[in-house]
Amino acid sequence: MSRSRSPRRINAVDRTFDILELLREHDGATVTELAEAIDLSTGTVHTYLSTLADRGYVRQRGDEYHVGLFVLPLGEYVRTQSPVYEAAKPVLDDLAEDTGEAAHLVVESHGREIPLYERFGTEAVGEALYEEIKGYPRRNLHCSAAGKAILAHVGPDRRATMLDDYEFAERTTHTTTDRSTLETELDAIEDRGFARNDEEQIRGLRAVGAPVQHEGRVRGAISLSAPTSRLQGERFESTLPRRIVQAANVVEINLQTA
């Protein structure tokens, strides 16, 4: 998210989250490494770290500091308070069990894709990779099935605002990095109600996604990913898309009856 859009900011809060995000990104760092990364003195960084450690949000291992355990309850609280998580979890569990593949619930915040829940079936691949990347809000909306399903259904004004501030990172050689091309695809996705990811995010993996909408807003999307060897032909073109759309509809009904 661009910081320039907010005229009033507290620098100390910015620095605190800079430190936490760097610790997460690098799986730990020393005081010197953090000071160099955020252009502060080592003494100032040490004071930040000591304060965070006292609160349990940072822990020290030798010379390195890491994200602390007190961050975990906050994340779990946010997730369990999400109506779409509660509505989608049993649906994704069934989807993963029935297909044997990986089922995902994705939401969008500040133009980034956040996996809210994932369930891996008995034949699912890429679990280690998904576990590695799920802690990082990523600008993947343009190249994931769930992300494109969300972009296609947020409405024209919101979509334009998001894409104005977007980075079209090339994840693979199949990734669409041209805005006009993506917008044409998003219009088609909006018409048919589901999106495909054809090796656009991870080589060798395809996915199908559908939006979850409630009270006139898109609340997230669910998707199913599988190797190209198992997700091709009619299964990729129609069978699983129908299944994903049906599953998304069940989630929407669950939201209405919650």
Report the candidate in 195, 197, 248 with the shortest Cα–Cα distance to residue 227: 197
pLDDT band at 1 (very low <50, low <70, confident <90, very high): very low
Domain ranges of the chain: 3-70, 82-257
Q: What is the pLDDT of residue 146?
A: 97
Please give the Cα distance from 186 to 154 (Å, whole number).
Answer: 11
Please give the Cα distance from 96 to 77 (Å, whole number).
Answer: 24
Q: What is the pLDDT of residue 165?
A: 84
Helix (H, G, I), strand (E, B) or coil at 231: coil
Q: Quick one: CATH architecture of 82-257?
A: 2-Layer Sandwich (3.30)
Residues in CB range of 210: below 8 A, 6 or more apart: 149, 193, 194, 195, 221, 222, 223, 241, 244, 245, 247, 248
Are 98 and 227 in contact by the 8 Å Cβ rule? The answer is no
What is the pLDDT averaged over residues 73-83?
A: 93
Q: What is the pLDDT of residue 141?
A: 94
- The 10s digit of each residue's pLDDT in 148-185 is 999 999 999 999 999 998 889 999 999 999 999 999 99
What residues pair up with 105 in beta bridges, in sequence order?
A: 117, 222
Helix (H, G, I), strand (E, B) or coil at 179: helix
Please give the Cα distance from 11 to 255 (Å, whole number).
Answer: 39
Percent of the chain at pLDDT > 90 equals 87
Helix (H, G, I), strand (E, B) or coil at 183: helix
Please give the Cα distance from 144 to 142 (Å, whole number).
Answer: 6
6: phi then psi, degrees, rounded to nearest 5: -105, 110
Phi-psi region of 199 (alpha: psi -120 to 50; beta: other; left: phi over 0): left
Buried (b) or exposed (e) across 202-212, using 16+ Cβ within 10 A?
beebbbbbbbb
CB atoms within 10 A of CB 79: 16
Fold of 3-70: Arc Repressor Mutant, subunit A (1.10.10)
Q: What is the pLDDT of residue 6?
A: 59
Report the candidate in 234, 192, 219, 2 with the shortest Cα–Cα distance to residue 110: 2
- The 10s digit of each residue's pLDDT in 32-65 is 999 999 999 999 999 999 999 999 999 999 999 9
What is the pLDDT averaged over residues 52-80?
A: 95
pLDDT band at 2 (very low <50, low <70, confident <90, very high): very low
- The 10s digit of each residue's pLDDT in 178-231 is 999 999 999 999 999 999 999 999 999 999 999 999 999 999 999 999 999 999
pTM: 0.88
Take residue 226 and report the two structure tokens written for it. Answer: 């599988």
